[in-house]
Amino acid sequence: MNSIPYAQPSIGEEEIQEVIDTLKSGWLSTGPKTLQFEKSFAEYVGVKHAIGLTSCTAALHLALLAHRIGPGDEVIVPSFTFAASVNTIIHVGATPVFADISEHTYILDIEDVERRITLKTKAIILVHYGGYVADIDAFNALAKKHGLVIIEDAAHAVGSERKGKQVGSFGNTTCFSFYATKTMTTGEGGMVTTDDDAIAEHAQNLRLHGMSKDAWKRYAKGANWRYEIVAAGWKYNMFDLLAALGIHQLKKLPSFIDTRRAYAEQFKEGLGKIPGLILPPDSSDIRHSYHLYPIRISGGRRDGFIETMANLDIGTSVHFIPNHLQPYYRERGSKEGDLPITEKVFSEIVSLPLYPKMTPEEVSHVIQATKKALA
């Protein structure tokens, strides 16, 4: 069997033709394809506004800005997430406050979150880790009680559902990623979704220099050359070359997720009875997209496992090295022992390769290799 990389995108002829069509159209930046992708994405999720961006990092940054979070404010965030969920809080001048996760779901532990709320707390960044969906009803109730905003980091959770509803349709503001390893990809790219007109308008202005809406049309034939700068905005606009990929990736998303779920089932059958091995969480309330397939290996064997798998030519990855243990955040005062569950889970966790481009035989191969590496 050939080597199995940790992640690979599924790009088909449709995406390739759409990119060629975009190149030939002469319009490469934000334009008709971006509008089309945004419209289809909003329809898919079941939300009023979808604003295309160049990354989920940009989405998180704009979501915080649109909610007027800034200096003096505290934002509660898991440490067990990608750096972007935390760095963007720094970008707006606010203070990240790390909270621990549930040992079962790897999602923020709501009781620990509540303990960390102060008069300065303005928002919670809720990460739907691995494609599992947080109990949003409980978090919305907590936010209401304390007057907080919830910003969902759904970088892993495009297409995941809770109680039959898509992620992005039940929170105030949700941020998605289309990075190359994500469930659907535009290479680099992201989206922020909301039902709130004011938040949408603010994010829309800020994504392109603070120009008032639709200013990107100024180079179109017959367009008005006048524009107004209403804020010192950023340069985060999704553009048609990316959207060309997104349009077709979105159409394929349901089948991508079906395949991921089938492979997760195959993993469960193959690895379900191994002592000391914990498989990813699931729940009857959710339709898990299995963006990740994180397993936990007890007894200090995780690092050796990664090495053995690499020797068997199988890529793995660790999601995530806790942010509170990173040098930048240590300098700001966090330290080992602050978040016991996060630290324990981090020492045991490793993500196996799982993506639609794999064949069932490759999944079997990963299962056999995992058993061998654990033996």
Ligand X SMILES: *Cc1c(COP(=O)(O)O)cnc(C)c1O
Catalogue the active-site residues: 182
Choose between 57 and 342: whose C-beta lies nearer to ligand X.
Answer: 57
Number of helices (H), then strands (E), belonging to the chain: the values are 12, 13
* Residues 6 or more apart in contact with residue 277 via CB below 8 angstroms: 271, 295, 296, 297, 374
Choose between 51 and 84: whose C-beta lies nearer to ligand X.
Answer: 84
Choose between 125 and 271: whose C-beta lies nearer to ligand X.
Answer: 125
CA atoms within 13 A on the CB side of 328: 8
Rounded Cα–Cα distance for residues 226 and 237 (Å): 19
Choose between 139 and 215: whose C-beta lies nearer to ligand X.
Answer: 139
Give yes or no for a contact between 266 and 363, defined as CB atoms under 8 angstroms apart: yes
Pairing of strands 277-278, 161-162: unpaired
Residue 143 CA, distance from chain mean position: 21
Choose between 66 and 215: whose C-beta lies nearer to ligand X.
Answer: 66
Question: Residue 333 has which token pair?
Answer: 């005062």
CB of 114 to ligand X, least distance (A): 22
* Residues 6 or more apart in contact with residue 156 via CB below 8 angstroms: 127, 128, 129, 130, 131, 177, 182, 183, 289, 291, 292
CB of 147 to ligand X, least distance (A): 25
CB of 277 to ligand X, least distance (A): 24
Q: Can you point out the beta strands (E) in the chain?
A: 49-53, 74-78, 95-99, 121-127, 149-153, 161-162, 165-166, 173-177, 190-194, 277-278, 286-287, 293-297, 349-352
Question: Residue 210 has which token pair?
Answer: 């603070």
Rounded Cα–Cα distance for residues 313 and 1 (Å): 9
Question: Residue 330 has which token pair?
Answer: 């240590």
Rounded Cα–Cα distance for residues 161 and 218 (Å): 39
Peptide bond into 256 cis (omega under 30): no
CB of 24 to ligand X, least distance (A): 27
Which residues bind to ligand X, rule: CB under 6 A?
Answer: 55-57, 81-82, 84-85, 127, 153, 155-156, 177, 179, 190
Choose between 154 and 271: whose C-beta lies nearer to ligand X.
Answer: 154
CB of 108 to ligand X, least distance (A): 12
Choose between 215 and 352: whose C-beta lies nearer to ligand X.
Answer: 352
CB of 179 to ligand X, least distance (A): 4
CB of 85 to ligand X, least distance (A): 5
Give whole-number Cα distances, 121 to 98, 106, 124, 331, in Å: 12, 22, 8, 22
